[in-house]
Structure 1
Amino acid sequence: MSQISRGLENVFIKTTALTYIDGDNGILRYGGFDIDDLVEHTSFEEVIHLMLYGDLPTKVQLQRLKTSLNEAYEIPQQVIDTIYSLPRESDAIGMMETAFSALSSIYGEMWNKNTNKETAIKLIAKASTVTANVLRAKEGKKPVIPESSDSFARSFLSASFARTPTNDEVKAMDAALILYADHEVPASTTAALVTSSTLSDMYSCVVAALAALKGPLHGGAAEEAFKQFLEIGEPERTEEWFKKKILEEKSRLMGFGHRVYKTYDPRAKIFKRYAQKLSERSNEARKYFEIALKVEELGIEKFAEKHIYPNTDFFSGVVFYSLGFPVYMFTSLFALSRTLGWTAHVIEYVEDQHRLIRPRALYIGPLKREVIPIELRG
């Protein structure tokens, strides 16, 4: 049994130049740049260039990438029809899986070093269209294709809500896209890598990643964390809830703890700042932010000695709620951002390190048994 690593913990399956994590000291970097600096001084489009091409873009390179995104929002009518054919109560990530399966049938070209990065850019743009229309289909609104603009975040928010977002909203959405863009090889990225190792197409890799992201222990954690705040209802009920649910019933505190970080998740700190700023515009959002602050305080008091702190999903739900998204869309917003990390990792793997991923299982059953004819088995 010493050969088994449960959950593949601390097993390295690839090398990467994309993302660096120091879990003990709470450091996250993309391509050598600290996450705080990227959120503060760059845009999601610049991070797309960084992850796909290895460095931040020049002005000319950035404009070229923005043009590529703006030209790729369109998706076939068959895919739109597929999204809208699903019941409105369908799971949002399940709807995205269905849409990307359809896209893989149409755009599932073979891997090509000369075009892989361009394929990724087109995929990311189409992910914006899919995500916006999943929301609109579930809300009973007409389909829409994002319009060209100076900002991926702006185009996405405009398409989602059919209104002009404020600059603060665009900046918050842009920050969220950067913060969720990549995180080395968690479950969804691993699923994408396994799929890419068979040389399946990039859209199918995203389908595999979405299936893994759907679980509440991965992408669904933001929704589950925010549902706790909804359950608490009012800030003054927080201590009572925490005592009953967490201390007495031993329920898991969602949005706390991380497989890699043994200190405060650096992404959570940034989401907390945006949650505080955005929630000031709405009494309801502010209430949930205040509840989150109280839960955070109680959680740290209880779990800090075990090195369990807030992770990126703890405050992100407050940001998404403040932007106007329903809770059922939080995981889809995670997915929209992570299409960058998924595609960057599979390109890195297929182009530089490709080998079919085929692990083994350690057999622990009977060594050998004789087959007794069915008429003699009693």
Structure 2
Amino acid sequence: MIQISRGLENVIIKETSLTYIDGEKGVLRYRGYNIEDLAENCEYEEVVHLMLFGELPNAKQLQEVKEKINQSYEVPLEVLEAMQKLPRDADPISLMETAFSIMSIWGKRINRLTALDIIAKASTIVSNVYRIKEGLKTKIPEPSESYAKSFLEATFFKKPSADEVKAMNTALILYTDHEVPASTTAALVSASTLTDIYSCITSALSALKGPLHGGAAEEAFKQFVEIGSPDNVEKWFEENIIKSKKRLMGFGHRVYKTYDPRAKIFKKMAYSLAKEESKKYLQIAEKLEELGVRYFSQKKIYPNTDFYSGIVFYSLGFPIYMFTSLFALSRILGWLAHVIEYLENQPAIIWPRALYVGPEKRDFIPLSQRG
């Protein structure tokens, strides 16, 4: 009997040396390194080198990565002009899709150097998503000692604090990769046809835009806003989660059956960054987490990375609508690394089949004879 895997769950589509996940134990590693060690000790550019070239860089290699990125922030004028012509209330990921679709005109076959170029240009695109939606002039990030710093300076046009740069740097690392979820799979499907890399990223962005994938951080944070006060958490949980059976956003994961290791790091960062308004949301999140764990832990449902990440992004000054774009800014590295890995290992075009369950052969009836 033919077995159908709904959502391709547990279907293996490639071998990878990029990311290892143990969902039962809550382990996440990039090329063998625990995510906790990388997040605590590395600059984002070190992880860029690790994912693209296979090893953590030495000082010379790290400087080469930084120089290549610093030289590559410029994007074609047509890209920013097209983004500016879209309605200001356009979905931020749609703005990103537009930008990468236009760059496919100059489409490139992917290699590690073009990957560094794209990572730089992604910073320019995402910072200007914010600036365009806020009615500000577009700006190209300026070279600096840090990708995270250049991005924050271009976005907000002010000098970020060391803590803010550290938080942005860590967030970029945490969202870099997570094996082959929907967006990465979409990129791989496109890559398997040997299309250009910008089109692969556009495919990934289209999948990421859905609220069941990249939009979870926004939806989790909206819960905190809706609750409004730590005093309202228990009543809200009773009415919405227990009685109405709504989904508790930021809880549960297809792979993790315990606490998502990235969520622990985001929670710690949320504490270190919290300001007056975000402290309130952090208190709400903590009380909601306590109830959620008490109610769902027997089903092995725990907080995932999106539960606390929105509080970190909000504390950095980003509005809710930017959260998914920040996810994308980080995950572009993972998409690029997976595409490179796939294409270098004798790729086959990804072409699944469907089980036909429609009518048997029927005789054709001319239009004039149909009642």
Same fold (TM > 0.5) = yes
Bigger shift: 352-361 or 337-346? 352-361
Matches within 5 A, 1:175-254: 175-254=170-249
Is 2:256 the counterpart of 1:258? Answer: no
Q: Which consecutive residues of structure 2, in runs of 5 or more, have no partner in the other structure? A: none
Q: What is the DSSP-based 3-state SS (H/G/I as helix, E as strand, rest coil) of the residue aligned with 2:344?
A: helix
Instruction: Give 1:322's aligned residue.
Output: 315
| Counterpart code for 2:208 | L
CA distance in 1, matches of 2:204, 2:109: 18
Give the match for residue 23 of structure 1: 23
1:105, 1:219 → 2: CA distance?
26
Whether 1:126 and 2:125 are equivalent positions in the alignment is: no
**Residue equivalent to 1:10:** 10
**Cα distance in structure 2, aligned partners of 1:131 and 1:2:** 44
Q: Distance in 1 between matches of 2:58 and 2:15?
A: 27
Secondary structure in 2 aligned to 1:28?
strand
1:377 aligns with 2:370: yes
- Contact kept in structure 2, 1:35 and 1:267, CA below 8 Å: yes
When the two chains are superposed, the root-mean-square deviation of aligned CA atoms in Å is 0.7
Distance 1:159 1:227 in 2: 26
| Maintained 8 Å contact 2:108/2:198 | no
What is the distance in 2 between the residues matched to 1:288 and 1:194? 39
Where 1:222 maps in the other structure, the secondary structure is: helix
For the pair 1:42 / 2:24, whether they are aligned, the reply is no
CA distance 1:2–1:307, change in 2 (3 Å): farther
Task: State, as a whole percentage, how many aligned pairs show the same letter.
Answer: 64
Deviating 4+ runs (over 2 angstroms): none
Output the CA distance in 2 between the equivalents of 1:204 and 1:328: 24
Task: In structure 1, give the amino acid aligned to 2:90.
Answer: S
- Aligned partner of 1:69 in structure 2 is 69
Match of 2:56 in 1: 56
Which of 278, 285, 289 aligns to 1:292? It is 285
Cα contact 2:293–2:302 (8 A) shared by 1: yes
Conserved 8 A contact 2:249-2:307: yes
Give unmatched runs, 5+ long, in structure 1.
none
Residue 269 of structure 2 contacts residue 312 of structure 2 at CA under 8 Å; is this kept in 1?
yes
Q: Give 2:359's match in structure 1, choosing from 343, 366, 369.
A: 366
Distance 1:358 1:89 in 2: 36
Query: Aligned AA for 2:302?
Result: Y
Give the match for residue 142 of structure 2.
147
Secondary structure in 2 aligned to 1:21?
strand
Q: How many angstroms apart in 1 are the aligned matches of 2:109 and 2:30? A: 27
Q: Deviations over 1:226-275 (max 9, x none)?
A: 00000001110111111111111111000000000000000000000001
Contact 1:14 1:353 in 2 (8 A): no
TM-superposition CA deviations, 1:271-327 (whole Å, max 9, x none): 000011101xx2101000000001100000000000000000000000000000000
Q: Contact conserved, 2:201 with 2:332, CA < 8 A, in 1?
A: yes
| 1: CA distance, partners of 2:108 / 2:48 | 21
Distance in 2, matches of 1:377 and 1:2, equals: 36
Tell me the number of residue pairs that the alignment of Structure 1 and Structure 2 aligns: 371
Report how far residue 2 of structure 1 moved.
4.1
**Superposed CA offset, 1:105-136 (max 9, x none):** 12x0235xxxx000111001000000000000
Note if contact 2:49-2:56 (Cα within 8 Å) is conserved in structure 1: yes
TM-aligned CA distance change 1:231 to 1:124, over 3 Å: same
In structure 2, what residue type is equivalent to 1:28? L
CA shift, 1:86, in A, is 0.8
Distance in 1 (alpha carbons) for counterparts of 2:300 and 2:95: 36
Tell me the SS of whatever aligns to 2:294: helix
- Asked whether the 8 Å contact 1:96–1:130 carries over to 2, the reply is yes
Equivalent AA in structure 2 for residue 5 of structure 1: S
Corresponding letter in the other structure for 2:238: K
2:281 counterpart SS class: helix
Cα shift readout 1:187-236 (whole Å, capped 9, x = no counterpart): 00000000000001111100000000000010000000000000001110
Aligned equivalents of 1:203, 1:181: Cα separation in 2:
18
Equivalent of 2:165 in 132, 154, 170:
170
- Contact 1:27–1:266 (Cα < 8 Å) also in 2: yes
Counterpart secondary structure, 1:352:
coil
Asked whether the 8 Å contact 2:39–2:174 carries over to 1, the reply is yes
C-alpha separation in 2, matches of 1:355 and 1:193 = 10
